């Protein structure tokens, strides 16, 4: 069995599942679903591209899943209950399950940003599709 994942062949999601008017900040978001490409069922792994002005999501937190974000390129603003922090290539952030600290990323720069995110205990959307 080949273990190398061809990112170009990974399932891709664009935009948002949010209804209007909440969907607007996500129109230029691209999510490469790497865990799905590998057939992984216990963990979510995504390569996320954010165009200038795009958000990763609405602010949220997970009751059961932990989340880890590693910025690979560009610059994003991490928004949490504690305020805002700039994350650049090489920076990372982590969120423990059950901690009600709503968070999301915003690309306020003029360049595309790229991050790798890992979510434990594979999260499923309401429609049953994996994160």
For the segment 1-58, what is each residue's pLDDT rounded down to a tens digit? Answer: 678 999 999 999 998 888 888 888 878 899 999 999 999 988 999 999 999 999 998 8
Pairing type for strands 83-88 and 75-80 reads antiparallel
Phi, psi of 93 (to 5 degrees): -145, 150
Residues 6+ apart with CB under 8 A from 116: 45, 46, 47, 48, 69, 70, 72
Per-position DSSP letters for 28-66, written without gaps between them: TEEEEEHHHHHT-SSEEEEEEEE-TT-BSSSSB--SS--
Q: Is residue 36 part of a domain?
A: no
Confidence of residue 128 (pLDDT cuts 50, 70, 90): low
What is the dihedral sign for C-alpha 115, 34, 41, 128? positive
Residue whose pair of structure tokens reads 């915003």 in the numeric block: 106
Domain hosting residue 108, numbered range: 47-121
Asked whether the predicted pLDDT for residue 122 surpasses 60, the reply is no
Q: Is residue 42 part of a domain?
A: no
Q: State the pTM of this model.
A: 0.86
Cβ neighbour number for residue 109 with a 10 Å cutoff:
16
Confidence of residue 90 (pLDDT cuts 50, 70, 90): very high
Q: Is residue 129 part of a domain?
A: no
Domain at 110, CATH number: 2.60.120.10
């Amino acid at each position: 069995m080949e273990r190398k994942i061809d990112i170009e062949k990974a399932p891709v999601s664009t935009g948002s599942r949010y209804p209007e008017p909440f969907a607007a900040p996500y129109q230029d978001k691209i999510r490469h679903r790497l865990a799905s490409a590998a057939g992984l069922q216990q963990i979510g792994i995504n390569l996320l591209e954010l165009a200038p002005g795009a958000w990763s999501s609405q602010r949220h937190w997970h009751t059961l899943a932990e989340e880890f974000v590693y910025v690979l390129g560009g610059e994003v603003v991490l928004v949490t209950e504690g305020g805002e922090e700039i994350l650049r290539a090489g920076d990372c952030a982590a969120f423990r399950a059950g901690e009600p600290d709503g968070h999301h990323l915003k690309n306020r720069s003029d360049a595309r940003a790229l991050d790798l995110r890992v979510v434990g205990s594979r999260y499923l959307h309401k429609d049953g599709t994996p994160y």
